């Protein structure tokens, strides 16, 4: 739990905001990592793996965008 010793109103971030920010950070790191994986697959001349990593990267980008939308909503309204 994030800052569990304080009340909800005195927190800089709610647990939910913290969770969404953490997920967004992880998704962003995954997107960056896929660039390395794509390059490695290209270096090995493995087009099927290049395509797989590109697809997975796009999936991460889409998920990150969804998380970002939820985060904006939670930060504006306090909940979804």
pTM score:
0.80
Q: In the chain, helix, strand, coil percent, each to 5?
A: 80, 0, 20
For 5, phi then psi, to 5°, come to -90, -5
- Give yes or no for a contact between 71 and 20, defined as CB atoms under 8 angstroms apart: yes
d(C-alpha 19, C-alpha 3), whole Å: 12
DSSP 24: H
Query: Does a structural domain hold residue 43?
Result: yes
- For residue 10, pLDDT beyond 80: no
What was the pLDDT predicted at 78? 79
Reply yes or no on whether the pLDDT at 30 is more than 80.
yes
pLDDT-derived band at 1 (thresholds 50, 70, 90) equals: low
The total domain count for the chain is 1
Give me the domain span that covers residue 56.
12-77
Block residue for tokens 């569990």? 4
What mean pLDDT comes out for the span 33-58?
99
pLDDT at 79: 76
User: Which comes out higher in pLDDT, residue 8 or 17?
Assistant: 17
Domain assignment present for residue 1? The answer is no
């Amino acid at each position: 739990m994030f800052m569990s010793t304080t009340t909800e109103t005195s927190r800089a971030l709610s647990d939910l905001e913290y969770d969404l920010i953490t997920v967004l950070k992880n998704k962003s790191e995954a997107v960056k990592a896929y660039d390395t994986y794509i390059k490695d697959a290209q270096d090995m001349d493995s087009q099927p793996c290049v395509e797989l990593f590109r697809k997975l990267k796009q999936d991460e980008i889409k998920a990150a965008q969804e998380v970002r939308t939820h985060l904006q909503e939670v930060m504006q309204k306090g909940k979804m």
